[in-house]
Structure 1
Amino acid sequence: MKIHKAFIASFLAVACLTVSCTDSDSTNQSATNQAAETSPQTLKEAFEDDFYVGAALNYRQANGNAPQATEIIKEQFNTVSPENLLKWESVHPKPGIFNFEPADKYVALGQQNNMFVVGHTLVWHNQTPTWVFEDEQGNAVSKEVLLQRMQEHIDTVAGRYRGKINGWDVVNEALNDDGTLRQSKWLNIIGEEFLEKAFQFAHEAAPDAELYYNDYNMWKPEKRDGAIRIVRNLQNKGIKVDGIGMQGHWGLENPSIEQIEASIEAIAQAGVKVMITELDIDVLPNPSNRQGADIDATFEFDERYNLYTTGLPDSVQQKLTQRYTDIFDLFRKHSDKISRITFWGVTDNDSWLNDWPIKGRTSYPMLFDRNYQPKPAFNAVINTAAKKQQ
């Protein structure tokens, strides 16, 4: 697969026009060749002085059963996240039973390619088996029992990858959009202390790993401020928290660049790292008007929300390209605050947005299409990095 031919060709064409290169002008030709050799050709090269750039991997990609995607992953990215294989229901489906084979392969892939490996996620209200919260009679367990189960899970999972996984999403999506704590089973049984204990157990199991809080709709001031309160409360108790992940499940127009920027600045001012952890741009209409990214908020199939079944129109492709340009211009502006950008998937075919919020849609949110080829948005993102050299 030759991902960068179009980019290199376009670069050479522009360079030749700039220096009026001809076959007889060897000096200018040499300069052009040298410029082409030094020009960033991959995402990780383009932003190597700014932040990590990565993708979330599914089971097939982590297992090495998707060679075309694997080529993109190795070539383009210097950090990886697991889409589902390290969530509780996947890695710890039953009491005392752990399924580490997919996670082992995922971690090995990252290590073999010198990547910053992320673990996602240790404590979440979703994709956690019911048995975690109940006794054998189906009644809610006590606070002490649930804490013991949490500690066992974190010790076993995070402890297994101590020194191998570089950063953990310790707690995921614990807030409502108004900044209050979600009424999850973790909160209802343990109380707010579940946050403290999750980060405490994670630090004990993996003392060298960075520890994060991760959530969607962090562009909303109330939710952003709620996350900052969580972090400050934990730090005031001497508990390690290194960063806040802003999930980037955004649309073509919303949230605004100004809203995203305000949250980047506010989180940085709180003294922790900012990460864009789950970036994708949904080009399709959304029945919920993009108010959230809760996987439980699904709808019945409706053709009104599945407009581009045979391909993305050029006009929409241009809007997607401009949206990614504007977003990465913003990221570069704040590269002193942002440590990592992670796309939530590798190609359009892999994206969870094909099945959320409506199962069976044809979605186009990534930089690479269903044929594993770069879209115009890919070159546009690369070009935002090139601006720093001008």
Structure 2
Amino acid sequence: KGWDVVNEAILDNGEFRKSKFYEILGEEFIPLAFQYAHEADPDAELYYNDYNEWLNEKRDAIVDLVKTLKEKGIRIDGVGMQGHVGLDSPTLADYKAAIDAYTALGVKVMITEFELSALPSPRFNVGANISDTEAYRKEMNPYVEALPDSISDIWSKRMLEYFTLFLDNSDKVSRVTMWGVTDGDSWKNNFPMRGRTDYPLLFDRNYKAKPVVQSIIDEAMSRRKKTISTVK
């Protein structure tokens, strides 16, 4: 079906990450990667994937990258928005602006690694750079035993808001992939500091669906019924 050809090549400030590929070939490694991927698998869709893809500078750099590839006649079919988000950031408006910016390029938009952290962030825009680790601080791990009902309610409301956004933009967002199945499986338990206990996914540590799952289903089904009614 498709390949994630280049992953996380741009920093939050819009500059290219100084990876080994970049050190050897410069920014030309990206067009070459897409060219070679297409030559190796001509029928496959080709994607660029990144986190914090809603930040203005990073978003604009990704837009420029896609434009450059298209101007060179190199195939790129989609942008993957990883969606490692929190209770406070990003705003839904910022996230929608990114969806709109990528869609305007004529490529598919996919939410590829979605989860919603329930924990406080130790700094602004933590993102998903696994090398950005910090020393453990107790205040950054407040819910060791369980998520309080008050925070759980806030988390559920925020999760439903995101899925409502995806449903509102279903003509632009081709798929949503969660980054993990249960809270116990999530990499967020130990990032950006080891020892944290997080609750970022749709199923709890006992593999039980959280109440928001039914809310998401209800929201989707209500839209489906409206669509069927309109067609009739």
TM-score range, shorter chain: over 0.9
Q: Hey, what's the Cα distance between the residues in 1 that align with 2:181 and 2:43? A: 28
TM-score, normalisation: structure 1? 0.56
Q: Hey, what's the Cα distance between the residues in 1 that align with 2:131 and 2:215? A: 33
Report whether the alignment pairs 1:265 with 2:100.
yes
Q: Hey, what's the Cα distance between the residues in 1 that align with 2:23 and 2:149? A: 49
TM superposition shift of 1:176: 1.4
Provide the residue aligned with 1:280 in structure 2.
Answer: 115
1:307 to 127, 134, 142: 142
Deviation string 1:119-162 (CA, Å, 9 cap, x unpaired) is: xxxxxxxxxxxxxxxxxxxxxxxxxxxxxxxxxxxxxxxxxxxx
Report whether the alignment pairs 1:344 with 2:186.
no
Q: CA RMSD for the aligned pairs?
A: 1.1
Q: Matched residue pairs, number?
A: 225
Is contact 1:172-1:215 (8 Å) kept?
yes
TM superposition shift of 1:211: 0.7
2:155 to 316, 320, 323: 320
1:333 to 142, 154, 168: 168
Provide the residue aligned with 2:230 in structure 1.
Answer: none
Provide the residue aligned with 1:366 in structure 2.
Answer: 201
Q: Hey, what's the Cα distance between the residues in 2 that align with 1:383 and 1:223? A: 34
Question: Within 5 Å, which residues of 2 pair with 1:162-177?
Answer: 166-177=1-12
Provide the residue aligned with 1:291 in structure 2.
Answer: 126
Read off the aligned partner of 1:212 and give its amino acid letter. Answer: Y
Q: Hey, what's the Cα distance between the residues in 1 that align with 2:103 and 2:117? A: 27
TM superposition shift of 1:330: 0.7
Report whether the alignment pairs 1:254 with 2:113.
no
Instruction: Could you tell me which runs of 5 or more consecutive residues in structure 2 were left unpaired when the two chains were aligned.
Output: 227-232
Which range moves more in the overlay, 375-384 or 236-245? 375-384
Is contact 2:52-2:125 (8 Å) kept?
no
Provide the residue aligned with 1:79 in structure 2.
Answer: none
Distance change >3 Å, CA 387–CA 253, structure 1 → 2: farther
Provide the residue aligned with 1:232 in structure 2.
Answer: 67
TM-score, normalisation: structure 2? 0.93
Read off the aligned partner of 2:152 and give its amino acid letter. Answer: Q
Provide the residue aligned with 2:45 in structure 1.
Answer: 210
Instruction: Could you tell me which runs of 5 or more consecutive residues in structure 1 were left unpaired when the two chains were aligned.
Output: 1-165
Q: Hey, what's the Cα distance between the residues in 1 that align with 2:130 and 2:219? A: 32
Is contact 2:114-2:177 (8 Å) kept?
yes
Question: Within 5 Å, which residues of 2 pair with 1:19-58?
Answer: none
Identity percentage of aligned residues? 51
Q: Hey, what's the Cα distance between the residues in 2 that align with 1:314 and 1:299? A: 28
